[in-house]
Chain A
Amino acid sequence: MDIIETLETLWFNSGFQSFFVNGGWKNLIMIVIACVLLYLGIKKKFEPLLLVGIAFGCLLVNLSYFGPESTDALYHPELWDNFLNSEHQDYHSYGTIMAKGGLLDILYIGVKAGIYPSLIFMGVGAMTDFGPLISNPKSLLLGAAAQMGVFLAFFGAICLGFSGEQAASIGIIGGADGPTAILLTGKLAPELLGPIAIAAYSYMALIPMIQPPLMRLLTTEKERQVKMEQARTVSKTEKIIFPIIVSIFVILLLPSTAPLVGCLMLGNLWRECGVTERLSDTVQNALMNIVTVFLGISVGATTAADRFLSLRTIEIVFLGLTAFAFSTIGGLLIGKLMYKLSGGKINPLIGSAGVSAVPMAARVSQIEGQKANPSNFLLMHAMGPNVAGVIGSAIAAGFLLAVFG
């Protein structure tokens, strides 16, 4: 056995050698980015449940994938290119993915088929109390207004030269709803999944920094001080009927929302009906955690260096921030309008909670309201627009899927 030859083979098979050939230095940059994301998730607690998984998926893929010739890669972007290419023999062939793919390719099937985001929505539904929204249905207007950023960012992305599908996926970042963004991007522009998921979750974590300056800029001290009346109590029957009504009306209006709205409302029905505690508990905890593991790591896998490091990624990050800001502005403006029309009974700060991102956005409204008036308790009032934003972003995604899907 020739020791030198064996050592040479080991060196040429190693990832260390790959850093020095065929643009392998890009992987090195991505590994640094993955470590920064891990730091933000673990130390700064930026959406840690998903960001840690995404960051580690990013680390794994960039340690193993150095181009199409990589034999031990955990994720193969070129397999997915073939999967989406209607002229290729592997078009829509999950069999090829199972046979030739790595571990992360197999896990990614759940993203591509839209399974993980829908199951996450089921868990979200089981964890959400829609009582504040049912007691004040006008909150739905704030949830609708706060989708402004989605469509403005969509328009901006078209102006920057993105295709319709890509622009729709970028715009949905403004919905501040991770699973919705992943579902839509997985279906319309999977090549942008990595940057869009990272932008969406990063901005959701940064809501306490992004929203307050806009809230203070667009509202007066007097408006922020408004104390809202206690909402009426919602009966058990109303809470049971709510998910059924929403499913019927929203899915009939936009059938493409069925996976998201259907799962969200099924989870909520399990929570509220009172006879399925075991299922509700499983969906809220065990299933949610399992899906979060798979979703995080497989989304992270889409950040292979040769795809992620481009000017397009910077444009997506910028457009995502714009989308978030304008969604907040949209909610605040309608909040101000409702303040005027109600004769000063509605605090416009609750409008910014319409951007979804449950319950972070509602907490920000509460904190800003208390800064203006320490005896102000806006949390429950802000939860109405907050959960309305979840439905609003699902409808926005459904519309974009119907147009571009």
Chain B
Amino acid sequence: MTDYSLFLMRQLSIGEAGVTAILGYCVVFFGLILLMCVLCCTGSYFSSRDTKKETESARTAKGVQNNAVPVQTAVKTSEPAPGSAGHVKLYDVPDREAVLIMAIVADKMQKPLNELHFISIREVKDK
């Protein structure tokens, strides 16, 4: 068998081990909380930038819609419509296009719309 005493090894008391373990766990938390704060800051910056972009593009889309075909603005209510599965989040997609997409998906899947749950519809842009 190997004589492990050849290697320089540290024998810790149980007290020292306990302190090292707690300190280590705290260091891991500290490191990741620090990272979380940094990511939250960068995330909020990018989110606000995206929101601005979305607002601008929504305005542009609305302007285009108004110029092309005057449509009645949908009345937004907090309660979902009877028989629906809830709200669908739209990103850079006008209501009219969203309705068309949902109808096409339902048609392709051969399923009635009230049996499908759309979570969100987003326009994929080339970057």
By a beta-carbon cutoff of 8 Å, the part of chain A in contact with chain B is 77, 81, 84-87, 133-135, 137-138, 140-141, 143-145, 147-148, 150-152, 154-155, 158-159, 163-167, 191, 230, 232-238, 241-242, 245-246, 249-250, 253-254, 306-307, 310, 375, 388, 391-392, 395-396, 399-400, 403-404
A392 CA to B25 CA in the complex, in Å? Answer: 10
Given A135-B43, A158-B14; A392-B38 close (CB under 8 Å): no
- 19 pairs from A and B in contact (CB 8 Å cutoff): A85-B7, A137-B36, A137-B39, A137-B40, A140-B39, A143-B32, A150-B24, A151-B21, A155-B18, A158-B14, A158-B17, A159-B14, A165-B10, A249-B31, A249-B38, A250-B31, A388-B32, A391-B35, A400-B24
Are A237 and B46 neighbours in the complex by a CB distance under 8 Å? yes
Q: Which of A144, A191, A388, A396 contacts B4 (CB 8 A)?
A: A191
Residues of A within 8 A of B60 (CB): none
Contact assessment for B17 and A392 in the assembled complex, using a CB-CB cutoff below 8 Å:
no
The 7 closest A-B pairs by CB, nearest first: A158-B17, A163-B9, A137-B39, A151-B21, A164-B10, A144-B32, A140-B32
User: Are B24 and A245 neighbours in the complex by a CB distance under 8 Å?
Assistant: no
Do A148 and B17 contact each other (CB < 8 Å), given the known contacts A191-B2, A245-B38? Answer: no
| CB nearest neighbor in A for B50 | A235
Whether B119 lies near A392 (C-beta < 8 A) is no
Closest to A84 in B: B7
A154 contacts across to B, CB distance below 8 A: 17, 20-21, 24
Given known A-B contacts A151-B22, A154-B17, A144 and B28 have beta carbons under 8 A apart:
yes
Q: Which residues of B contact A86 (CB under 8 A)?
A: 8
Is the pair A138, B36 in contact by a Cβ cutoff of 8 Å?
yes
CB of A134 within 8 A of CB of B17, answer: no
Least Cβ–Cβ distance between B109 and chain A, in angstroms: 17
A388→B29 CA distance, assembly (Å): 11
CB nearest neighbor in A for B122:
A233
Q: Which residues of B contact A400 (CB under 8 A)?
A: 24
How distant is B42 from chain A, measured CB to nearest CB, in Å? 6
A146 to chain B, nearest CB (A): 10
Contact partner, A164, options B11, B89, B127, Cβ 8 Å: B11
Does more than half of chain B's interface fall in helix, strand or loop, or is it mixed?
A: helix
Residues of chain B touching chain A, judged by Cβ–Cβ distance below 8 Å, are: 1-2, 4, 6-12, 14, 17-18, 20-25, 27-36, 38-40, 42-43, 46-47, 50, 89, 91, 117, 119-120, 122, 127
Given contact pairs A145-B29, A154-B17, A249-B35, enumerate 16 new A-B contacts (beta carbons under 8 Å): A77-B2, A81-B2, A85-B6, A137-B35, A140-B32, A151-B21, A151-B24, A164-B9, A164-B12, A232-B43, A236-B127, A238-B46, A249-B31, A307-B2, A391-B35, A403-B20
What's the A-B contact tally at a CB cutoff of 8 Å?
134
Q: How far is the CA of A140 from the CA of B38 in the complex (A)?
A: 12
Chain B residues whose C-beta falls within 8 Å of the C-beta of A246 in the assembled complex: 35
Are the CB atoms of B119 and A230 closer together than 8 Å? yes
C-alpha spacing A141/B29, complex, angstroms: 7
Contact B42 A238 (CB under 8 A): yes
Q: How far is the CB of A290 from chain B (nearest CB, A)?
A: 31
Contacts of A234 in B (CB 8 A): 46
- CB of A306 within 8 A of CB of B28, answer no
Residue in chain A with minimal CB distance to B119 = A230
Task: Please name all residues of chain A whose beta carbon is closer than 8 Å to the beta carbon of B127 when the two chains form the complex.
Answer: 236
Nearest neighbor of B30 in chain A, beta-carbon distance: A253
Q: Are the C-beta atoms of B34 and A137 separated by less than 8 Å?
A: no
* Bound CA–CA A138/B22 (angstroms): 22
How far does the alpha carbon of A241 sit from the alpha carbon of B33 in the complex, in Å? 18
Contact of B42 among A138, A144, A163, A241 (CB under 8 A): A241
Q: How far is the CA of A388 from the CA of B34 in the complex (A)?
A: 13
A84–B17 contact, CB under 8 A? no
